[in-house]
Amino acid sequence: MGDAHIRTLTRLARMLERGAGDLSLSQFRVLALVDEGGQRASQLADRLAVAKPTITAAVDGLVERGYLTRAADTADRRATKITLTAAGRSALYEAEHAMHAQLHEVIARADDPAAVERALEDLARAVTRSREARLRAAR
């Protein structure tokens, strides 16, 4: 794997971000993780592999836009629970739909679209395994 693969992935990420409307990829990732059940800033920071202040700033911006809310966690009063608002869920799903359409358009131009789909599925599994290994090592 060489520089060309990295450049291709970054170009694809930029194409997807342009299709995400008013969300950046990092904002999209935060909304998606909250939707998947990451409810505390520390959980989000761990899953995104960033520092907690970085997540706090991202969450602050999404709260200001009305996409997320913060509330005291009833299970742990020291913690804050982060949840999607209806507007946040709508923004997330609209961005996902637009990015899916953009990706579908790119894949349709491949010499073997089915092979690209299979490779993306394999890559998704590898990313998940890598993230899980990183999280286990951090414990």
> What is the spatial distance between Cα 40 and Cα 55, in angstroms, rounded to a whole number?
10
Write down the pLDDT at residue 31. 93
CB atoms within 10 A of CB 67: 23
Write down the pLDDT at residue 109. 96
Write down all domains in the chain, each with its CATH number in brackets. Answer: 3-108 (1.10.10.10)
The answer to whether the beta carbons of residues 68 and 34 sit under 8 Å apart is yes
Amino acid residing at 22: D
Mean pLDDT of the chain: 86
What is the mean predicted confidence (pLDDT) over 4-13? 90
Q: How confident is the model at residue 22 (pLDDT cuts 50, 70, 90)?
A: confident
In the three-class reduction of DSSP (H, G, I as helix; E, B as strand; rest coil), residue 72 is classed as strand
What is the mean predicted confidence (pLDDT) over 3-26? 87
Q: Which range, 23-32, 40-49, 91-100, has the best average confidence (pLDDT)?
A: 91-100
In tens, the pLDDT along 49-72 reads 676 777 888 889 999 999 999 887
In tens, the pLDDT along 77-127 reads 777 888 899 999 999 999 999 999 999 999 999 999 999 999 999 999 998
124: tokens are: 């998704």
In tens, the pLDDT along 84-96 reads 999 999 999 999 9
The answer to whether the beta carbons of residues 99 and 14 sit under 8 Å apart is no
Write down the pLDDT at residue 119. 95
> Of 67, 81, 8, 77, which Cα lies nearest the Cα of 38?
81
